[in-house]
Structure 1
Amino acid sequence: MSYTLFTANRNYSSWSLRPWLLMKALDIPFEDRLVPFAGPDNSEEFRGFAPNGKVPCLHDGDVVVWDSLAIVEYLAERHPGVWPADRNARAWARCAAAEMHSGFSPLRNICPMSVGVRAELIAVPPALQNDIDRIAELFAEGLDRFGGPWLAGESFTAVDAFFAPVAYRVRSFDLKIGPKAQAWVERILAHPAMLDWEAQALAETWRDDAHEDEIAGVATIREDHRAA
């Protein structure tokens, strides 16, 4: 196995973070290929390595795996620890990760990931509050049922990687998710692989106007910790 993982900007690319973090946390070796966002539509450039023109994309020799959930399942066939060993925890973790993969559109759209930014939302629409409440409920459920400190038990697994971008959103926009969920946020933000990702994000000097405009349209930026 010789993996190459194609990703985009550390500051913005929540989808890239998921498989990158999982592979780092589980010590799965891979070549890291970062291709920055450039303009509102990168699909033609990204189609050079991904059939759908998006990141992330995993290459394993002549096998190409696109979409973050498909990448995780591909890795789960080859490496232990991607999903919990316990059947009940594994079923819950897969459901929660799939819910994150397909849902939470208001959270994604109103609170885009920007690792280095601290901002105050102009408003919290009901749809966003519903997502925040569901995140709090889901995290507390996993931590209570499986004993923590990770969402599906004592080990970091794919469900933690899938919700890792939420941790940055919670911090950036000061979202109130309750003490149990906040404890998980603090734990994952302190994970060595997350600290590595964050350091790279803060060192990035390029900016993507589309992503910057998204944040400016919904929030007042109070702090920006990124390199100038």
Structure 2
Amino acid sequence: MTLKLFIGNKTYSSWSLRGWLACKQSGLLFEEAVVPLYDEAWDKRREGDEFAPSQGKVPILWDSEIVVWDSLAIVEYLNEKTDGTLFWPADEAARAMARSMAAEMHSSFAALRREHGMNIRQIYPPRQPSEAVVAEINRIMELWAQARARFGTGGDFLFGEFGAVDIMFAPVVTRFITYSLPVARFAHAYIQAVIAHPFMQDWIAGAQAEDWVIEKFEAPVEA
């Protein structure tokens, strides 16, 4: 049976992006079901049986009767289904670092998430971010620099080849672009590599084709 992935609006749903990239990275066939978030039917729609295990949250992946929710769990499930060869570095030390970085991304950076929600259709003029966001950006730069210096020589991504840790940071990359946030000079090449990846280009095209506008996720544009 083909996998079925329920995701939210591609413009705004950062966790959906991670689950979707994981499915693309797996190379497995999957059916994509986009569920408009926060429209007039959202509350009723999220009560459906397909969302019950995740309490109405996306992404949620169904594999026949098996259900997996939460982006990092989806990554690990698909890693197991593909013999552990597509998501994490082969080197033990690199793999340990990549898993630690992915887990930190999963659980941290609350200020960046709260103050700079994902909005792929917009690019806003630079504004001074809060001290909390600056501290989180600095931490992300530190992680990226360490990964690139230690394990990134084999390609354009954090551990050389595109993998799970890049999937977890992909929505952050879009935030840096959308809000013109200050990043270290070395990071620009990595940001461009992520955005240029064919999977990301497919997602961005899907976001651009959407006609939904969720006002609470639209930041004001300064003159």
TM-score (norm 2): 0.90
Aligned AA (1:150): F
**Offset at 1:40?**
9.1
Is the partner of 2:105 in helix, strand or coil?
helix
Q: Corresponding residue for 1:226?
A: none
Matching of residue 150 in structure 1 with residue 121 in structure 2: no
Matching of residue 98 in structure 1 with residue 103 in structure 2: yes
Aligned AA (2:207): A
Matching of residue 140 in structure 1 with residue 151 in structure 2: no
Is the partner of 1:179 in helix, strand or coil?
coil
Checking the alignment, whether the CA contact within 8 Å between 1:46 and 1:53 is kept in structure 2 is yes
Matches within 5 A, 1:86-125: 86-120=91-125, 122-125=127-130
Distance 1:100 1:41 in 2: 31
Q: What do residues 91-140 of structure 1 show as CA deviations (whole Å, max 9, x unaligned)?
A: 11111111111110111111110001011355411101001111111111
Is the partner of 1:117 in helix, strand or coil?
coil
Percent of residue pairs identical: 43
Q: Corresponding residue for 2:213?
A: 207
Task: Give the structure with the higher percent strand.
Answer: 1
Aligned AA (2:157): W
- Could you tell me which runs of 5 or more consecutive residues in structure 1 were left unpaired when the two chains were aligned: 223-228
Q: Corresponding residue for 1:177?
A: 183
Q: What do residues 194-220 of structure 1 show as CA deviations (whole Å, max 9, x unaligned)?
A: 0111011111111112222xx23xxx3
Distance 1:129 1:28 in 2: 38
Tell me the matched-pair count. Answer: 216
Q: Corresponding residue for 2:76?
A: 73
- Could you tell me which runs of 5 or more consecutive residues in structure 2 were left unpaired when the two chains were aligned: none
| Superposed CA RMSD | 1.9
Distance 2:138 2:41 in 1: 32
